[in-house]
Amino acid sequence: MSRPSPLTSRLAGFGTTIFAEMSALANRTGAVNLGQGFPDTDGPAEVLEAAVTALRAGHNQYPPGPGIPALREAIAAHQRRFHGIELDPDGEVLVTTGATEAIAAALLALCEPGHEVVTFEPYYDSYAAGIALAGATRRPVTLRPPDYAVDPDALAAAFSPRTRLVLLNSPHNPTGKVFTRAELELVAAQCRERDVLAVTDEVYEHLVYDGREHVPLATLPGMAERTLTISSAGKTFSLTGWKIGWACGPRELVSAVLTAKQFLTFTSGAPFQHAIAHALGLPDAYFDSFRAGMQARRDRLCAGLEAAGLDVFRPAGTYFVTTDIRPLGEDDGHAFCLSLPERAGVVAVPTVVFYDDKEVGRPLVRFAFCKREEVIDEGAARLARLRS
Ligand code: PMP
Ligand code: GLN
């Protein structure tokens, strides 16, 4: 007799993340992996050296729960330098195990069972799981291609008296959308009117293209006092395996998140904390050339995907481009991605898994361009064979 699943009902249906599933498929089939968003080159050599130095200097025991002072100071300095946000490193900045832990800890710390969380779909998968773990309910506002514009009526309709917070990701994974100041103002107006908190995920803050600007929601009027701003070093320094993230904002919010965080990991990554403190102080030239390099890869992959016959929604930011596969005569993005390694030797991610509205997400497929140019070219050349 088979036993019922031991998994709690809160996590029923979450299974394995699409990123793990698709990277395993790439490894198994030898396909070009344009699925999971991780760079295939290392971060800056001097940051790697800083980690080695920290290891050798004996920074190998538990760092303080909120993070080492040098990193909290570097995060505060980064927020001032790039966004004009003033923070007290002592109480308004918390170091976390990647943005993932910051998001989960924020949801666990701030939501009661029965609360609702407004978020935009397609949503990053850990949001749905974090909301479920907290016993809350997600209220997605649907973004649709080609421009993924915010519909003010749909946004307003997602709020209710049970809304606890808005969980906003900009620059946005998987669409590559960068919320405009006007769109952020719509979100801020709802938060202020309804006295709702905001949690923002800004892990792609330095990957915004074509001269656009990344606007942290916390910089809008009346938002600093109700916004927890989350980011991490993974994307900005091409060090996704280090899992150094942070959450910043009003003392009471940061303190609440620390209460949850200390029972998840307590603390992590002692030598990496030292190295990221160094990384955050790199000159502007680093951030500029990093962004320019990724923008060039975006252009390269978009051109390749267009040549392969896909409908391409050119992203304003992030690592990712979404496409519509219908010009190829297909409309099931999930089936397409499962068969793609065999048909073309490429792995991509079906966007539908990030949508509750499956009809909108069904024909959409996400490709990552945070890869070496020869890998992008090889992937595009293989996809071009689908046409024939
Ligand atoms: N948020 C978004 C939107 C992401 O794409 C990712 C994946 N890198 C994360 C959070 C997780 O960040 P971290 O690796 O720092 O936990
Ligand atoms: N953020 C990465 C992506 O969207 C994946 C991170 C992960 O595997 N959890 O591809």
Cα of 235 from ligand 2 centre, angstroms: 10
Contact between residue 98 and residue 244 where contact means Cβ atoms under 8 Å apart: yes
pLDDT in the model for residue 386:
87
DSSP codes of every residue in 205-217 = TT-B-TT-----G
Written in H, E and C, the secondary structure of 109-166 is HHCCCCCEEEEEECCCHHHHHHHHHCCCEEEEEECCCCCCCCCHHHHHHHCCCCEEEE
CB distance 142 to ligand 1 below 6 Å = no
Q: Tokens 């009003």 label which residue?
A: 250
Dihedral over alpha carbons 270, 89, 129, 135 (to 10 degrees)? 120
Q: Closest ligand 2 atom, CA of 349?
A: 10
Structure token digits, residue 185: 């103002």
Cα of 269 from ligand 2 centre, angstroms: 19
The pTM of the full predicted model, rounded to 2 decimals, is 0.97
Any residues with CB less than 8 A from the CB of 4 and at least 6 apart, and which?
A: none
CA-nearest of 222, 174, 169 to 354 is 174
pLDDT in the model for residue 110:
98
Alpha helices in the chain (DSSP H): 18-29, 45-56, 69-83, 98-110, 125-133, 152-158, 181-194, 233-236, 251-261, 270-279, 284-307, 333-344, 358-361, 373-384
Per-residue pLDDT of the chain (388 residues; tens, 9 = 90+): 678 889 999 999 898 899 999 999 999 999 999 999 999 999 999 999 999 999 999 999 999 999 999 999 999 999 999 999 999 999 999 999 999 999 999 999 999 999 999 999 999 999 999 999 999 999 999 999 999 999 999 999 999 999 999 999 999 999 999 999 999 999 999 999 999 999 999 999 999 999 999 999 999 999 999 999 999 999 999 999 999 999 999 999 999 999 999 999 999 999 999 999 999 999 999 999 999 999 999 999 999 999 999 999 999 999 999 999 999 999 999 999 999 999 999 999 999 999 999 999 999 999 999 999 999 999 999 999 888 6
Contact between residue 161 and residue 140 where contact means Cβ atoms under 8 Å apart: no
pLDDT in the model for residue 1:
66
Q: Closest ligand 1 atom, CA of 100?
A: 16
CB distance 23 to ligand 2 below 6 Å = no
CA-nearest of 247, 257, 383 to 328 is 383
Q: Closest ligand 1 atom, CA of 101?
A: 16
Structure token digits, residue 116: 């609702």
CB distance 19 to ligand 2 below 6 Å = yes
